Structure formats: structure tokens, C-alpha cells
Amino acid sequence: MLKNKNIGIVSYGAYLPRLLIKTGEIANANNSVNFGVPLGIESKTVPDSDEDVATISVEAASQAIDRLNKFDKNQIQALFIGSESHPYAVKPTGTIVSAALGLGNELAMADLQFACKAGTQALQICLSYIKSGMAKYGLAIGADTAQSRPGDALEYSASAGGAAYIVGAKNVMVSLLGTLSVATDTPDFWRRPGQPYPEHAGRFSGDPAYFHHTKLATAMILDRLNLSPKEFNYCLFHTPNGKFPKAIASNLGFSEEQMKYSLLVNKIGNLYAGSTMVGLVNILDHAKNNDKILMISYGSGAGSDAFVWQCASDFEEKRRKFQNPVEEQICQNYISYSKYKKLTTNEN
């Protein structure tokens, strides 16, 4: 378990595509029941033809960097990007992002893949680099342009977007109180090489997968830090849909008030590796000085990362000049299913 009050988030940013599709539009086009209703999803983001994990990462990271006054980008010495939809099977997304951002050459870097928790794994790695002294600052990104088979239940939730965090040991605005991970071999979701769309085990992805791992990670970190649900201002659980996080929060003793900023899934869908990362951004856009936040990600296959954060006593002053909060990025540019299909299946 990584514990250190002297390291944490220095800045953050997020990016959401401007296009959306309503789940009712998907249902009508497929002459099907609207699976978005029981999933608690009204609409989801759709990447435009010029948007992929690299461009989303650059946009989110640029916002995080621009929010720091006179920040020397050469101090970023670790860059890790988590995604399950990297634009190249063999060629790092990180080198593209680094070049676009103008980062220095002294840079530890890797692309990560662990389904929907690859972004939080990137965050853990960057924090570890800071604690060990191997990097002055780290840049952790979680982003995806999630794929789904046309007509599959996943089509109602799989969306696009991402978030970036600059972490360090100086000018910290959100301190890390602790983080740990759990993992088992639970095949609830997968995609074999060469397959265009992932497969999933339906309801099996609930109890033995999502709920087991999020419960285990939550119980372990609360025990290690001697904390209880009532001591948190906010909680955040991975949002594959609007149903699962509400159920797990209630089961573990968290209130709806503690969750009120973490359920963007209703409007933007499941961002996969960007899901929990963007959810934390929205919480930080609303948090106050000294607020305490529980963050639990989940990745199929399967595992969870748990974090406990605490906003600094001058958090609101540090955030004061931040522009373009994530909620303001959610547009009303709804597209037809025919346009959506062309964008997501590469049809001409």
C-alpha cells in the first residue's frame, strides 16, 4: 500500500467529445428495447472522425498543464497512459502525446491496458515514481474510445473521453492518503487479437466481477487507513452504468449526497479507462478545502484500484482560476444513428 500525505495531485484536466447520441436513438435504429433505461444512461459521447485516444489525451493533458502558472513541462519525467483503445497495436500512444505536448526527453513512459482501470493504474505508477524520487512530476492519463458490437447491450454505454493528472510533491492541491489494488482472474469481459469488438459474460460481470472487487478494495483501504464511510465528503465508484455504482455505494454505507458529482455516466456513458478519472475531475470541480474523497476503480479481468484523497486547506484558492469544468463540456450536439455508425464502424 502506498501512503504519503506529501505527494498528490498538482493539477488536472479532462476532455469530452462534443458529439453525443441518445440511447433511444440507438434502440429505434436497432428496433430494440432501449437498454439505456435499465442501465441509467440517457446519452453517451461519440468520438468524431479526428478524435482518438491520442488526441483526447493531448486535450486533457493540455488543460492540466495550462492550469499551472509558468510550469516547466520538462519537469514531467513520467508519462503513463491507460486505455483499451490505443490507436496502434504496436507503437506507444505516449510518444505521440509527449511530442504534441512538447515534453522533454527524460521521460519514463508506457502504455497500459487493464480494461476500465488502466487509467487509475497509470495514476498509481506516477505517484510511485514521485515517492521514489525517480521523477519530479508525473503525468497520468486515462482515456478511451470504447468499441461495441452494433446491437449489443454495450452499444448503449460504450463512449469516449478522458482525464489527465499531474502529480508531484510540491504545490499539491489534493494529497494522497493511501492507495492499494486487488486483482483476480475473473474473465467477465475480453477481446481476442484481431477481433473488432469485445465479448462479455452478461450478468456474470456483476456479482463475481464488479461488486466483488470494488467491495474488497473498499474494505481493505478503509481498514488500512482506519476510516469509515461517514468520514468522506464524496465517494466515487467506477461507472459502467448508472445502476452498479449506486448499488455498491448503498451496500457499503455511502449516501446519495456523497455520490452526487460522480454519476456523469447518465449523460456521457461509460468512458472505460477514462470513467473513474473523469468522475474524480467532476468531484474536484465542486470540492471544498479539506474535503475527503474515496475513489474505487474497476477493470474487467479483473481488479480494482482504491484511493483516498484529501483536498488541501488552500484547495479552493488553487482551483480558483481553473476554466472549462467538465460539466460544461457536455454538449447537446446529438447525432443520428446513421452518423454514429459511420463514425464508429469506419463506414464510408
**Residues with a known catalytic role:** 84, 116, 238
DSSP secondary structure, 53-99, as one string = HHHHHHHHHHHHHHTSTT--GGGEEEEEEE-S--S-SSS-HHHHHHH
Chain-centre distance for alpha carbon 73: 23
d(C-alpha 190, C-alpha 197), whole Å: 9
Bridge partners, 304 (sequence order): 182
All cell numbers assigned to 213: 472487487
d(C-alpha 191, C-alpha 271), whole Å: 17
3-class secondary-structure state, position 166: strand
260: Cβ–Cβ under 8 A, 6 or more apart, which residues?
Answer: none
Chain-centre distance for alpha carbon 304: 13
Residue type, 214: T
